[in-house]
Amino acid sequence: PPAFSQPMFVRRKVEGVRNLIAVGSGKGGVGKSTVAANLAVALAKLGYKVGLLDADMYGPSVPTLLGLKNQRVYVDENNRIIPLEKYGLKVLSIGFLLPSEDTPVIWRGPMLMKALTQFLFDVNWGELDYLILDLPPGTGDVQLTLAQNVQMDGAIIVTTPQDVALADVRKATAMFREVQIPILGVVENMAYFVCPESGNKYYIFGKGKVMEFASQYGTKVLGSIPIDPQVAEDSDKGTPVVESHPESEVAKAFLSIAKLI
Ligand code: ADP
C-alpha cells in the first residue's frame, strides 16, 4: 500500500495564513509559474492580502517574473526572513538567497527540504488571506516533503491541452489525491490564440481535451488562458500581465479564475 495512506506525519499550519494554495503541474514549461504569479497579483487586486512563495527550488523563476532579480532578503530581530514586497504581494524565493542568478542550487535533498520548510515557517509573512505556492513541476521530493509537513488548503493544476502535458497531469492529480490535498481545479493555459486581425480563435493544441480530462477525474476547469505573446514579454520584463495590461483578455481570464479560489 502507498506510504501516504497512513497518517504518519503531523502537518503544521503556517501561522497567520488563511489559505495555503499550491500551484502544480505535470511537466515543466506549461506556464505554472506564470499562472501562479498572475493569480497572486489578481488576488491582491481583489483586495486580499497575498504572499507568493517560489517553491521551485531548482528552477526559481519568481524573481524574473516579478522584476526582483538580484534582490536579497534579510531577517528581523526574531531571525525570521522578511519577504520582499512587489505589486502588493509578499514574495520569497530561493533566488533571493543565492549569490547570483546564475548560481545553481547544488544542495542535496535534505538540505533543500530544510530550506523549503524554513521558507514557510521561519518567515515573517504577517497575516495573509492567501499564500500561493509555486511548486516545481512533476511529482518529486519537494511536493512530498510539503505534503508531509505542511497543512495545505488546496491545489491548482496547470496544464496545456497537449496530450504529453495531459499524460503527466494525470500523475500530478493522483499525487495530490494520495496525499489528500483537495484539488480546487485545473487551469488550462495556452488554450487558444486570438488572431489580432480577424478576432478568430484558434485552438492550436486542440479543443476540449482539458475539459474531458477534468470530468473524467472528477475535478473542474477553473478557466482557460489564451496564448498571448504579451504574457511572455511582460514576464520577461518583470511585470505580470495582470499588472501591466489589466484590460487584456488574458488578464481578465486570470482575474475570473482568482474569483473562484
Ligand atoms: P513553468 O513554470 O510551467 O515551467 P513558465 O511559467 O515558466 O512555465 O512559462 C514557460 C514560458 O511560456 C515562459 O516563457 C512564459 O512567459 C510563457 N507563457 C506562459 N503562459 C503563456 C501564455 N498564456 N501565453 C504566452 N506565453 C506564455
Per-residue pLDDT of the chain (261 residues; tens, 9 = 90+): 555 555 566 899 999 999 999 999 999 999 999 999 999 999 999 999 999 999 988 889 999 999 999 999 999 999 999 999 999 999 999 999 887 777 777 777 788 888 888 999 999 999 999 999 999 999 888 888 888 889 999 999 999 998 888 889 999 999 999 888 999 999 999 999 999 899 999 999 999 999 999 999 999 999 999 999 999 999 999 999 999 999 999 999 999 999 999
Asked, for residue 54, whether it belongs to a domain, the answer is yes
In testing the pocket of ligand 1, which one of 205, 210, 235, 257 has its CB within 8 Å of the most ligand atoms? 235
Residue 4 lies in a domain: no
- 8 found inside a domain: no
Tell me, yes or no, whether 9 lies in a domain: no
Domain CATH code at residue 249: 3.40.50.300
The answer as to whether 173 is a domain residue is yes
In the chain, the number of structural domains is 1
Is residue 1 assigned to a domain? no
Domain that holds residue 23: 14-258
Residue 230 burial (10 A CB sphere; 0-12, 13-18, 19+)? middle
30 is in an annotated binding site: yes
Name which of 232, 247, 255 is nearest 61 in CA terms.
232
Say which amino acid occupies 119. F
Is 6 inside any structural domain?
no
Protein residues with CB under 6 Å of any ligand 1 atom: 25, 28-34, 61, 137, 189-190, 225, 227-228, 231-232, 235
Residue 3 lies in a domain: no
- Whether residue 209 is annotated as binding a ligand: the answer is no
